[in-house]
Amino acid sequence: MYFIKFHGFGNDYIVFEQDQLAGVDDLGAFSKRICDRHYGAGADGIAVVRKSSDTDSDVTVKIFNPDGSEAGMSGNGTRCTVGYLHYKKLWDKEVLRLNTKTGIKIYRLLEKMSDGHYWFESELGKPGLDSASIPMITDNPREIVTDYPLTIEGEQFKVTSLLMGNPNTVIYVDDFDTLDWRRIGRALEVHPAYPDRTNVIFARIASRTKIEIRIWERGVGETFSSGTCTCATAVASMVNGKTERRVAVHAPGGKIDVHWREDGEVIMTGRTDIVYSGEWLGD
């Protein structure tokens, strides 16, 4: 089974063409095996691509997490997928319509530095701000979930939650070093308020145009970067009046620029880079 691994700011994905996995009955179980960093190839997820059968999109992708669950969306995973398509010469047009579990996303090639190294602008859709869309169980249905109190391992936090492809929850902090955010993130991911679990992002507002984040990703754990978490944090900060509608979001893996347009569409600009190619022999 031939594959190529790409990463987006350290968030790495193994990309397969669907035909390569014709003999795999359970993609979730397969993802758990190959994503293992000791016994597999090691990754934050896999992307499985095929040519779309409809006329509304060009390519269809499915994203699976290392725990075997299917992701609704991955900003970095889909960008890695588009990078794969360009690298393999399966797509050479400037614009690509990518069909995901949460709808069609638009990708524009901004720059090709060299084979396997690209900058893309991505249209990731409109955020879902109400509690039903996230989904999140609150005391009463809410149109916007901001400063909502949740008790996590005996401590109370005020959270902002929204849907950005996946459920996302943001906690604002003054300093990452004074909070055991990994412990809180692990507990909050599976909090009863989130029936589908949630990504957890810890955010520090550096200025009206700059945010710093740490990420606990649903089904993955700590990650260096996440496109959907980045966009969700940007939107949450804008909803809370903390930033402008264009921001630079800095994660340990690098900087992603986000623009929440007036029409509601969230635009993300980031790069993807090839890591290596290989052949999976484990099955």
Contact, 246 vs 211, CB < 8 A?
no
Is 223 exposed, middle or buried (CB count within 10 Å of its CB: 0-12, 13-18, 19+)?
Answer: buried
CA-to-CA separations, 217 to 22, 109, 115, 282, in angstroms, rounded:
29, 27, 29, 26
Amino acid letter, residue 185 = G
Distances (CA, A) of 136 to 13, 114, 148, 196: 28, 43, 11, 8
> What is the pLDDT, as a whole number, of residue 37?
95
Tell me the pLDDT tens digit for each residue of 17-71: 999 998 899 999 999 999 999 999 999 999 999 999 989 999 999 999 999 999 9
Model confidence, pTM: 0.92
Task: For the chain, give every residue range classified as CATH 3.10.310.10.
Answer: 2-123+270-279, 145-264
The fold adopted by the segment(s) 145-264 is Diaminopimelate Epimerase; Chain A, domain 1 (3.10.310)
**Residue 5 to residue 31: CA distance in whole angstroms:** 13
> Which residues in the chain show pLDDT less than 50?
none
Assigned fold of 2-123+270-279: Diaminopimelate Epimerase; Chain A, domain 1 (3.10.310)
Check residue 94 and give its pLDDT.
93
Predicted local confidence at residue 282, as pLDDT: 75
Radius of gyration of the chain (CA): 18
Closest CA to 187 of 156, 157, 152: 152
What pLDDT does 283 receive? 64
